[in-house]
Amino acid sequence: MPKRGYHHGNLRQALVEAALQLIEAKGPTGFTLSEAAKQAGVTPAAVYRHFEGREDLIAEAARQGYEIFADVMQYAYDKGQPSALAAFEATGRAYLAFARKYPGHYIAMFESGISVNRTPELAKVARRARDVQEQAARDLSQHIPPEKRPPPSMFSAHVWAMSHGVVELFARNSPGTQSPFPPEDLLETGIGIYLRGLGLIPRD
């Protein structure tokens, strides 16, 4: 690949984009910084002017992923308004849609072993994404009697875990885990059962 002229932040972003392609193709531990440099069309030494190592590069990919993810979640929440139920269900679906559309970011965020507390910037944007879902849960939980109301953080964590499980098992084309149902249907019915259990939607 011919070397390109990078200036200011262009090289840094080119390395992130190269890493995202490699993460998607080989996993977060399946490539070296040298490969990322080659993919970006620069020398390996150039990488170290921007990143201390592979984990630092993956952490930046994760941070950018959380920025997109938080925006996607906020859009879903806003689109569901003024219905608390529609907003809550939309944030669950947004998780699946994000994983499908941004697999490299998703892996960097959730499968790389990089802690969200690695940097203050990463922690802040990860918190922003979680806050959207917790707000959706808080809105919806107001319709549950106080004595039966789970904390919003638990409420949203349940749906986050359900969404994550559907993505990991059935939306990533993992060998031996093909579902007879579309992942979207699995998630929608699972959330429906959960919400019926809380009395938030009527039983059939």
**What are the DSSP calls for 113-175, one per residue?**
---TTSSHHHHHHHHHHHHHHHHHHHHHHTTS-GGGPPPHHHHHHHHHHHHHHHHHHHSS--T
Count H helices and E strands in the chain, helices first: 9, 0
Residue 128 pLDDT more than 60?
yes
In a domain, 202, yes or no: no
CATH number of the structural domain spanning residue 93: 1.10.357.10
Using pLDDT thresholds of 50, 70 and 90, give the confidence band for residue 103.
very high
Residues 103 and 46 in one domain: no
Residues 41 and 66 in one domain: no
In a domain, 6, yes or no: yes
CA distance 98 to 129: 12
**pLDDT of the residue at 176:** 56
Q: Which amino acid is at 111?
A: E
In a domain, 130, yes or no: yes
Residues 168 and 68 in one domain: yes
Residue 184 pLDDT more than 90?
no
Question: What CA–CA distances, in Å, run from 105 to 65, 85, 100?
Answer: 5, 28, 10
In a domain, 167, yes or no: yes
Residues 69 and 123 in one domain: yes
**pLDDT of the residue at 4:** 45
In a domain, 203, yes or no: no
Is residue 49 classed as helix, strand or coil in its secondary structure? coil
CA 125 to chain centre: 11
Residues 101 and 193 in one domain: yes
Residue holding tokens 């190269």? 18
Higher pLDDT, 106 or 10: 106
CA distance 143 to 85: 10
Residues 32 and 99 in one domain: no
Residue 81 neighbours by CB distance under 10 Å? 12
Domain that holds residue 129: 58-197
Residues 115 and 191 in one domain: yes
CA distance 170 to 123: 28
Using pLDDT thresholds of 50, 70 and 90, give the confidence band for residue 204.
low
In a domain, 204, yes or no: no
How many independent structural domains does the chain possess? Answer: 2
Residues 17 and 93 in one domain: no
* pLDDT averaged over every residue in the chain: 85
Residues 118 and 185 in one domain: yes
Close Cβ partners of 91 (under 8 Å, ≥ 6 residues apart): 73, 76, 77, 80, 132, 133, 136, 159
Joined together, the tokens standing for residue 190 give 């699972």
Residues 78 and 140 in one domain: yes
Backbone angles phi, psi at 130, to 5 degrees: -65, -35
pTM of structure: 0.85
Residues 46 and 23 in one domain: yes
